A and B are shown apart, each in its own frame.
Chain A
Amino acid sequence: MTKNTEVAVMQQNTGLPMTRPEAQENIVVPFVDICETPEAFVLILDMPGVSKESISATMDRGSLIVKGSVKPYHRENAFLLFNELRNASYYRVFNIGEGIDRSNVEAQFEHGVLTVKLFKSDELKSREIQIK
């Protein structure tokens, strides 16, 4: 995918103006799985090559911004016989709708996979109604 279409995908995800990483930087949109459990929405993002220190998830005015940068994979004098990994920064924005408790977000990073748990606010949780 070309760089321009990737930028378009990002703008797709939010109607808000946003600060993107430096324009000359190579950007990859990480693949995501979104699933729903009774109490939360869970985002699972594949971000291989990112260290825990260089990853960030920010909640900003109704959007969740996930960023992560990758260190160069090889030493400078290496001759690449195969080159499929991309030395790029990960970047993806998610619109967070109403019904999500924005103050209660959990994130953990393990084996190159970022898991973000967005807890539902009480009004969105399913509850049983007592029959009188």
Chain B
Amino acid sequence: MSLVCWNPNRELTAFPTDILNMQREINKMFNGFFRGDTQDDGSLVPSVWTPAVDVAEHENQYVVKVELPGVTKDDVKITMQENVLTIRGEKKQETETKDSNFHRVERSYGSFQRSFSLPTHVKNEKIEASYKDGILTVTLPKAEEAKPKQIEVKVK
């Protein structure tokens, strides 16, 4: 073994690692709890993890972005029923590494589901979804009656 220079910082920082890891776990738990979705009867959906979601409202459409790293296109199902958008799917563990020896597991695996009730009606037949670099983007154009209208005021 080669000689290693003694680094006093390393000893000082050895202790908080556990606390920081614990904080990370607690943050994860809280995120899962507050983002959890409810089923029709009010009970929590038994999802293993909850992906982060952005819902943006534009003048003519809604854009939903979901963080889904490592999920293939075929593992995601998007449904629209009575103005409620539901995104569900499953994140599978890579088959290549399944049998190997894990030293650290921080990423989440398993099924997920999230539902959103949209404030206005959308054109169901014009909903589009794309998946790129681990981000799922769903574009929902607003129905004609929900678009903002400008009313001209005539001055006599």
Contacts and interface: CB of A to CB of B under 8 A. Distances in A.
A99 B55 CA distance: 47
Given A73-B65, A80-B56, A48 B101 contact: no
A8 to B, nearest CB: 7
A85 B24 CA distance: 17
B46 interface: no
Given A48-B68, A73-B65, A111-B70, A84 B56 contact: no
A42 B100 contact: yes
A113 interface: yes
B128 interface: no
A35 B100 contact: yes
Contacts of A37: 97, 100-101
A42 B70 contact: no
Contact of B52 (A5, A47, A79, A84): A84
A109 to B, nearest CB: 8
Contacts of B134: 46-50, 111-113
A77 B7 contact: no
B105 A33 contact: yes
B94 A80 contact: no
User: Number of contact residues on B: which range applies?
Assistant: 35 or more
B104 A32 contact: yes
Contacts, number: 131
Nearest to B93: A33
B20 A5 contact: yes
B105 to A, nearest CB: 5
B35 interface: yes
Contacts of B100: 35-37, 42
A5 B68 CA distance: 25
Contacts of B69: 46-48, 111-113
B38 interface: no
A33 B102 contact: yes
Interface of A: 1, 5, 8-9, 11-12, 15, 31-37, 41-42, 44, 46-52, 73-75, 77-86, 98, 111-113
The 8 A-B residue pairs whose C-beta atoms are closest, nearest first, are: A112-B134, A48-B134, A112-B69, A84-B52, A78-B56, A31-B106, A82-B55, A48-B69
Given A35-B103, A73-B54, 9 more contacts: A5-B23, A32-B104, A35-B97, A37-B97, A73-B65, A74-B65, A85-B52, A85-B65, A112-B135
